[in-house]
C-alpha cells in the first residue's frame, strides 16, 4: 500500500542518494509536495511598515514519483 501525503503530515524522506530529510508537508498538489525543514524569523525591514509574513520557511520539493520513498511519522491535524 502506498502512502499519499497530506498537508500537515510530518514525513521522513530518504532519497535514492541516501540523504534524509524530515519535516512538515507544507504544500501539496498532484505533481509535488513541499516539505518544510525549518522556519526562522524575518529580519526587520525598514522599507515595509506592515509585513504580513513574519517567517522565512525553508522548503524542499519532493515530486510525486518519489512519494514511495516517504515515511509517514505523524500529523498535526489532530492537535487542533
pTM of the model: 0.83
Q: CA nearest 28: which of 3, 54, 53? A: 3
Q: What is the pLDDT of residue 52?
A: 72
44-54: per-residue pLDDT in tens?
A: 776 666 767 77
- By three-state DSSP, how is residue 59 classified? strand
Residue 44 per-residue DSSP state:
P
10-54: per-residue pLDDT in tens?
A: 999 998 889 999 999 999 999 999 999 999 988 777 666 676 777
Amino acid at each position: 500500500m502506498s502512502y499519499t501525503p497530506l498537508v500537515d503530515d510530518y514525513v521522513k524522506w530518504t532519497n535514492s542518494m541516501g540523504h534524509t530529510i524530515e519535516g512538515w508537508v507544507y504544500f501539496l498538489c498532484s505533481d509535488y509536495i513541499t516539505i518544510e525543514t525549518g522556519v526562522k524569523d524575518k529580519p526587520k525591514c525598514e522599507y515595509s511598515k506592515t509585513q504580513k509574513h513574519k517567517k522565512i520557511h525553508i522548503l524542499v520539493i519532493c515530486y510525486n514519483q518519489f512519494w514511495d520513498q516517504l515515511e509517514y511519522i505523524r500529523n498535526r491535524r489532530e492537535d487542533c
